[in-house]
């Protein structure tokens, strides 16, 4: 029976068994879409990735990203983790691996820069593949029911819950404090109601809750829930963090500048993750969003197909 090799890494951390776990198949040639989906479901991680030769030889690889239930066009921690894994290799589909990679994905091209320490890759930075897109707003009371908190805990005075995307859409929702954030639990019936009422990007209603530090507003704590996608909670969500960073900076009064944000996630799950973001704003618009994180290897093996 044919087999494919895999590795797993913990992403947005330098410590094993924290951060967000990711399964990577570094050479997925020979697998079809159904097999990729089955393997992603078997791992049960929020995402698994499958690496294929690029369609355009100028790019490094095609990367397909699967949750346990569907293929998604872009995600943050799968790109950071996949880049980390591929960066350890001497070559990728016959070409030397340098410090810059470019992935073909459903959402577009994802540019990657690797950070090395004594020739070993320790971290990766990815550039969001799409500009910020802000979608429809959602009823704050419904979002509060989705995560089992009081409606007054949602900071509607700053913004109503809103879909935002730089490649994958999330419902950004600011809460009043860490107590409310810590109390959040997904309510499946409310999520099902939300899917009936709001279309989003057609990939469900992933809710990204966050709390800003009043003294240091670019230090943020967050949680992400997508129970209808078999992800009751995600320990680190780079694509949501990128969308939030772009959203906040675009609303920032300053017209131009470079902004650095740090988002801490997964604390309540015992899988603390640190996501670093760099955002460039020019003439009132966000022109660049980059997501950075460290990674560490956890497991290696093979899968019978």
Question: What residues are annotated to the active site?
Answer: 47
**What is the separation of C-alpha 215 from the centre of its chain, rounded to a whole number of angstroms?**
26
Alpha-carbon distances of 208 from 136, 144, 153, 224, 284, rounded to whole Å: 15, 12, 14, 4, 24
Provide the Cα torsion 187, 241, 276, 214; round to 10°. Answer: -80
Q: Which of 107, 74, 75, 197 is nearest to 145 (CA)?
A: 197
Q: Which residues pair with 277 in a beta bridge?
A: 261, 291
Q: Which of 273, 173, 148, 169 is nearest to 229 (CA)?
A: 169
């Amino acid at each position: 029976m044919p087999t494919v090799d895999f590795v797993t890494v913990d992403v947005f951390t330098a410590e094993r068994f924290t951060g967000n776990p990711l399964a990577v198949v570094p050479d997925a040639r020979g697998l079809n879409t159904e097999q990729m989906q089955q393997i992603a479901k078997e791992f049960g991680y929020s995402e698994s990735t499958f690496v294929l030769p690029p369609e355009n030889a100028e790019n490094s690889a095609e990367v397909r990203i699967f949750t346990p239930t569907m293929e998604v066009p872009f995600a943050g921690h799968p790109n950071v983790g996949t880049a980390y894994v591929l960066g350890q290799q001497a070559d990728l589909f016959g070409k030397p691996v340098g410090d810059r990679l470019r992935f073909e994905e459903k959402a577009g091209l994802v540019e990657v820069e690797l950070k090395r320490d004594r020739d070993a890759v320790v971290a990766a930075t990815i550039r969001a593949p799409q500009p910020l897109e802000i979608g429809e707003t959602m009823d704050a009371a419904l979002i509060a029911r989705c995560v089992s908190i009081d409606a007054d805990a949602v900071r509607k005075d700053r913004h109503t819950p809103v879909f935002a995307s730089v490649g994958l859409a999330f419902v950004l929702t600011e809460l009043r404090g860490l107590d409310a954030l810590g109390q959040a639990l997904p309510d499946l019936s409310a999520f099902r109601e939300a899917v009936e009422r709001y279309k989003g990007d057609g990939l469900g209603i992933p809710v990204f809750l966050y709390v800003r530090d009043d003294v240091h507003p670019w230090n943020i704590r967050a949680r992400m829930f997508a129970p209808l996608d078999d992800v009751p909670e995600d320990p680190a969500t780079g694509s949501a963090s990128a969308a939030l960073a772009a959203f906040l900076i675009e609303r920032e009064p300053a017209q131009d500048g470079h902004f650095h944000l740090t988002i801490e996630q997964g604390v309540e799950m015992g899988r603390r993750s640190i996501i670093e973001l760099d955002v460039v704003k020019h003439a009132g618009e966000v022109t660049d969003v980059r997501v950075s994180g460290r990674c560490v290897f956890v497991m290696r093996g093979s899968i019978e197909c």
